Amino acid sequence: VRMQPLGPPGCLGHGHTFVLQLLGLTLFAGLLVALLVQVSKVPSSQEQEQELAKQEKVYQELTQLKAGVDRLCRPCPWDLTFFQGHCYFFSKSQRNWHDSATACQEEGAQLVVINSAEEQSFLQLTTKKRGHTWMGLSDLNKEATWHWVDGSPLSLRFMKYWNPTEPNNLGQEDCAEFDGDGWNDAKCDISKFWVCKKSALSCSHEQ
């Protein structure tokens, strides 16, 4: 900054002018900045409002669309639970194993056949809250040879789900149930809850 030369002693005219100029300049700069801030604010807040309005509109459209899709397609009937492409019916009453299997067939389903660890975990947790529950697994045809109701044999990777010391065939137990944290073989003529399983409707093929 170049210093203004001071006037001779006793004459402060130059000094006063310089201070006034500086003050004026500062004021002007301040006003300019304030004006610029004001000017730059106006379009941005308008844009924000427009953006919000747009989002609101998209949200409303999405909500309406979702309601429409829900009306068009439900993967499972109302009283069934959807899990990974299938619908599960958890009975509220209790029946023996054979009547449970029949009840599922009458609904176009099957006493549950387990195909994955995730499904096993989901079913075990859900049935634990409800109580002893039949699954579609038995060794009715040949003792100690377990088959699912779809005819497939029980694979080795599922053996770990038997509760400790089960299956023990205690007094002839040929039907498998969910019991606490794992499976148990129980007498088929005892009444228990049951789980049916069927394929979910694909939402890409409207009914």
Q: Which residues bind Ca ion (CB under 5 A)?
A: 139, 166, 168-169, 173-174, 184-185
Considering the complex, state which of residue 119 and residue 139 has its C-beta at the smaller distance from Ca ion.
Answer: 139
* CA distances for 148 relative to 23, 43, 138, angstroms: 93, 68, 7
How far apart are the C-alpha atoms of 150 and 105, rounded to whole Å? 12
Residue with tokens 């900045």: 33
109 vs 139, beta carbon nearer Ca ion = 139
Q: Residue 33 has which token pair? A: 């900045």
- Collapsed DSSP state (helix, strand, coil) of residue 98: helix
CB closer to Ca ion, 47 vs 143 = 143
- φ/ψ (deg, to 5) at 24: -60, -45
CB of 186 to Ca ion, least distance (A): 6
Least Å distance between CB 94 and Ca ion? 18
| Residue ranges with strand state E in 6-108 | 81-83, 86-90
For Ca ion, the closer of residues 88 and 148 by Cβ is 148
Q: How far is the CB of 139 from Ca ion (least distance, A)?
A: 4
- How far apart are CB 169 and Ca ion at their closest, in Å? 4
Residue nearest to Ca ion (CB): 169
